[in-house]
Structure 1
Amino acid sequence: MTSAATRRWRPRSLLQLVLLAFVVVMLPLGVLMYQAGQALSELSRLAEVSARQAVSETRRARTLGSLAVEMERGARQYAVIQEESLLDIYADRLAEFRELLARQRLLLPDDPDIQALERLLDELATLPQQPPEAYAASLDDFVAFSRHVEGMRQATNRRIDLRLDAIRERARQVQQRLWWQTGALVSASLMLMLLFTRLIIRPVRQLERRILGIGSGYQDSQQRHVQGPAELVALGERLDWLTHRLEELEAQKQQFLRHMSHELKTPLASVREGSALLSDGVAGELSPRQREVLDLIDASGAELQRLIEQLLDYNLLQHHRSAAIERLDMATVAREVLAKHRLSLQSKEMAVEVFSGPLQWRADHQATARLLDNLVSNAVAYGEDGGKLLIRARARHDRLELEVANTGEPIAEQDRDHLFEAFYQGRARRKGALKGSGIGLSVAADCARLQHGRLELIDDPEWPVCFRLTLPAAPPEDGRHYGLHNDIRPALTGQDARNLTL
């Protein structure tokens, strides 16, 4: 069960973890949206204020220009028609111009045109009190007055342009800041997404490894408990329970196979011993018909004994027996196996072709002999009467390829993927009185894996059925890499083989 620390730190449920991930991942994006809104509001306010100021200042400068024109026109009209009302209008325009100029001075405090206009205003204010000759001479001051008004207007426009440039620079800075903030906050969101994805995926992968371990039969003794949401932790605990239950069932199965095989061998031994005594004539001379029945009983007993031995082999290999690697002559092992099947091969009139030796290789004698025995037995059971059986070997630098092939009906495509599964019965029917157990090829494949090799069905253009055993080069006891013996040729094929007609 999970520890207290694990229970304290894991989310209570998968839904809570998903909702928390959504909120935390969206938090940087929300901050980004808020900051972007604030920046846009700031730029909008600044642009609005600047636009208002620009309009006001431009309008004021234009008004000052109009007042200057009206003042000059009124003064010149008075010099011509000498009407007192024109002096009143002139005085009003002068006062209005002075007021607006004071406001403009706040915008341009150090502008020389405004300073010059203020001095000229003081002089033009005394214009109505001057005598006619001096009045006419003072009208020339309006030329300089108009020039300075135009200079003030241009200075106002430059000031507005500078303010617009400042706004543009501020907008660029805000944009750059938003890009940096966007990169940082989006990166933070991505990191948070990866973090929460790992928090969700990690327990799922732990469960996947646990399921694969259950399916393959391999269980890590130091496998950690699932850490994550409560639903996945509970599922991990159910898998633990299922694992223990499967281990118990596997132990019961192995015990059943051991007991069943032992119980079957005891009466079978009595049956075979009795048939042997009858065959020796202990109970009297047998008629040809009786001897034919006795031969059938003896052959069936031998077949039953072979099936029981296969069950024992399967049970032994399921306990992961370690390989006893030693240097073997593979040709000798092949002949030993063929000798056991001599009578069966003779009864089927099969021609045997086996490679010549010696061929030295480091392997497990018992596992290799059992593997070849099952392959030869399979060829005898399913091969054609009067056909051929081939055993050949190819020794490479880093591996040994040992092939067992026979003539007969090819293995169906739908059976190829299941050939090495225990208790699988293919479409091809076994020739003989007894049905096969379906574990012969499974035991052979286990014997190959025991030696870190592999057994596979290959396609050969000359042989309908061909199995290949590949064994890696095992290191010798002194630690040096060991392959073939020095007196062995690099490859032995059918041209080097000799025919055995059994």
Structure 2
Amino acid sequence: MTTRVARRWRPRSLLQLVLIAFLVVMLPLAVLMFQAAQALSELSRLADVSARQAVEETRRARTLGALALEMERSARQYAVLEQESLLEIYSERLAEYRELLGLQRELLPEDPDVAAQARQLDELAALPGLPLEALEEKLAEFPVFAQRTEAIRQATNRRIDTRIDAIRERAQGVQGRLWWQTGALVSASLVMMLLFSWLIIRPVHQLERRILRIGSGARDEPPRPVQGPAELVKLDERLDWLASRLAELEAEKQQFLRHMSHELKTPLASVREGSALLADGVVGELTPQQLEILELIDGSGRELQRLIEQLLDYNLLQQSRRVEVERLDVATLVREVLAKHRLALSNKGMRVECFDGPVTWVLDRTATGHILDNLVSNAIAYGADGGELEIRARQRRGSLELEVANSGEPIAEVDRPRLFEAFYQGRTRRKGPLKGSGIGLSVAADCARLQQGELALVEDPRLAVCFRLTLPRAALPSDDHNRTPAGMAGQDARS
């Protein structure tokens, strides 16, 4: 029910999610562009209106100055020439001046010079009807009239400058508002980008972790269902099917190994029992040639039994990943492994050098025994006849290092990267009638990883092949501390 409700508001496809993300991220940017366009349009309109008004008002102020000059010139010429046409020109210029002054008074309603100029203009309007002597006396007022006209022009310029400053302040305010909106909307776009990136990447990461879990074979907890676009949910369902299919194949493989090992061990036991009865002389004395053939049969049976046990060990490791650690003497464990191969070592003519004990360490006896058994078996199978086998032990930085080295043919470089793969057999062939299974080193490496350790092929200055097992210090379940075993530091003795 929860999944159904959750899916109602989620995009049903990855394409739909990407398109919605694009639209949501672009929406704040579109709003920003729209607001910026409106602000620029408003500022452009104000600038255009202000420029037109400034040009008109400046032209009007200059015209007032020119009209005042023409009025004074006409009046003075009339005082000299006494021509009526000059008075007509004076009256026309005065009327134009009065009209322009009225417009200028709307621009400067509180300017004292405008009011005084209007009063003086009324006085100068009566000039054409005055006698000549009175007219000449009135001519003395024209310099004051011209000064007020200049003052009106300067006041007009100041008014234009004030208006321009107001527009500039408004433009700065709009710019600041645009910057603030830009920061807010771009931040919102970034948040939306991060949100939708998380919505897309989260199911991808879930699928990646799911694939890694399938590849590693981890089954400790059930996987969480992927929540996201339909394509990724469907891919998660395909991964469920793949995981179940791989689990079925793994179970079938383990069952096949168990049945095959059991079916091989049963007739092998009969063969070895029969060869043992023949060797004991139950059916009569055997000739030397018959004894030699019987020894060959018995040796091949032992080799076949070892291969079957390796298959069983491999199958057991695939099923169980638990370790049971205990404190024991590693030197004793090594001697037990060497005792199992004493006859093979004697037939091979190999000289064995082993470190002295006791070397106490906490580890899994069975897993470590498997590792040493496989390494010694490989040294016998691939080492040189009459060669050397050395087993060393030392402690470094809280870990135990066991080295098994033997003389013989070095491992080819091309085989080293795949040396610990299951069922991989390199170019070097075993010495003897039977071919190896290719799982000995794989089992050994798995046993090392089971104990959080590592098995690696390392270079040795004297011997051709050297495997190093590194085991960290483990803790017993009942122990609250780990102490460094006495007599272990720097130990690398041979006997």
Cα distance in 2 for residues equivalent to 1:332 and 1:220: 36
Post-superposition Cα deviations, 1:139-196, rounded to whole Å, max 9, x if no partner, equal: 1111011111111111111111111112222111111211111111111111111111
Counterpart residue type for residue 422 of structure 2: A
Partner residue of 1:491? 490
* Equivalent residue letter for 2:167: I
Q: Which runs of 5+ in 2 are unaligned?
A: none
Describe the superposition over 1:16-48 as per-residue Cα deviations: whole angstroms up to 9, x where unpaired: 111111111111111111111111101111110
Matching residue's letter, 2:37:
G
Q: Paired residue for 1:294? A: 294
Q: Distance in 2 between matches of 1:397 and 1:132?
A: 127
List aligned pairs for 1:75-114, cutoff 5 A: 75-114=75-114
CA distance in 2, matches of 1:463, 1:103: 114
> What secondary structure does 1:409 align onto?
coil
Distance 1:2 1:169 in 2: 57
Q: What secondary structure is seen at the aligned counterpart in 2 of 1:467?
A: strand
Query: Aligned equivalents of 2:147 and 2:281: distance in 1?
Result: 152
1:112: how far off? 2.0
Distance 1:7 1:419 in 2: 49
In structure 2, distance between residues paired with 1:416 and 1:2: 52
The equivalent residue for 2:52 is: 52
- Cα distance in 1 for residues equivalent to 2:229 and 2:209: 17
Shift in Å at residue 405 of structure 1? 1.3
TM-score, normalised relative to structure 1: 0.96
- Structure 2 counterparts to residues 184-263 of structure 1, below 5 A: 184-219=184-219, 221-263=221-263
TM-fit CA distance, 1:220: 5.0
User: 1:305-316 maps to which residues of 2 (within 5 A)?
Assistant: 305-316=305-316
> Is the Cα–Cα contact under 8 Å of residues 473 and 483 in structure 1 kept in the other structure?
no
Q: Which residue of 1 aligns with 2:121?
A: 121
Question: In the TM superposition, what whole-angstrom CA distance separates every residue of 1:208-253 from its partner, at most 9, and x where no partner exists?
Answer: 1111111111135231111111111111101101111111111111
Aligned to 2:458: 458
- The residue that corresponds to 2:352 in the other structure is 352
Match of 1:30 in 2: 30
For residues 25 and 124 of structure 1, the distance between their equivalents in structure 2, rounded to whole angstroms, comes to 72
Between the aligned partners of 2:441 and 2:261, the Cα distance in structure 1 is 19
- Do 1:395 and 1:484's aligned partners in 2 also have CA atoms closer than 8 Å? no
Deviates more, 1:229-238 or 1:216-225: 216-225
- State the match for 1:16 in structure 2: 16
Secondary structure at the residue paired with 1:400? Answer: strand
Partner of 2:415, secondary structure, is helix
Aligned counterparts of 1:225 and 1:477: Cα–Cα separation in 2: 36
2:394 touches 2:488 (CA, 8 Å); kept in 1?
no
Query: 1:407-442 CA deviation, whole Å, 9 max, x = no partner?
Result: 222222222222222111122212211111111111
| 1:48-89 Cα shifts (integer Å, max 9, x gaps) | 011111111111111111111111111111111111111111
Q: Secondary structure at the match of 2:421?
A: coil
Q: Which runs of 4+ in 1 moved over 4 A?
A: none
Displacement after TM superposition at 1:200 (Å): 1.1
Distance 2:484 2:456 in 1: 23
Shift of 1:259: 1.2
CA-CA distance at 1:5 after TM superposition = 2.9
Distance (whole Å) between structure 1 residues aligned to residue 150 and residue 196 of structure 2: 68
Name the CA distance, whole Å, in 2 between partners of 1:175 and 1:3: 48
- Identity among equivalent pairs (%): 70
Contact 1:359–1:484 under 8 Å retained in 2: no
Work out whether residues 361 and 483 of structure 1, in 8 Å CA contact, stay in contact via their aligned partners in 2.
no
In the alignment, the residues of structure 1 paired with residue 461 and residue 49 of structure 2 have an alpha-carbon distance, to the nearest angstrom, of 91
Q: Deviations over 1:75-117 (max 9, x none)?
A: 1111111111111111111111111111111111111221221
1:65 to 2:65 alignment = yes
Aligned to 1:389, the other structure's residue is in SS state: strand
* Cα-Cα RMSD: 1.5
Deviations along 1:460-493, one digit per CA (max 9) or x if unpaired, are 333322111111111244433324333x231211
8 Å contact kept, 1:74–1:87: yes
- 1:330-479 equivalence runs, <5 A: 330-479=330-479
- Give, in whole Å, the separation in 2 of the partners of 1:308 and 1:5: 56
Instruction: Tell me the equivalent position of 1:137.
Output: 137
> What is aligned with 2:318?
318
Work out the CA distance in 1 between the residues paired with 2:418 and 2:268.
31
Return the alpha-carbon distance in structure 2 between the equivalents of residues 479 and 118 of structure 1.
Answer: 113
Residues in 2 aligned to 1:129 and 1:35: alpha-carbon distance in whole angstroms: 64
Match of 1:157 in 2: 157
| SS of residue matched to 1:404 | strand
Aligned partners of 1:460 and 1:466 also within 8 Å: yes
Distance 1:353 1:243 in 2: 48
TM-score by length of 2: 0.97
Contact 1:400 1:472 in 2 (8 A): yes
Query: Across the two proteins, how many residue pairs are aligned to each other?
Result: 495
Separation in 2 of the partners of 1:220 and 1:48? 76
Structure-2 change in CA distance of 1:375 and 1:6 (3 Å): farther
Counterpart Cα distance in 2 of 1:64 and 1:144: 14
Cα distance, 1:7 vs. partner?
3.1
Task: Give the drift of 1:6.
Answer: 3.9
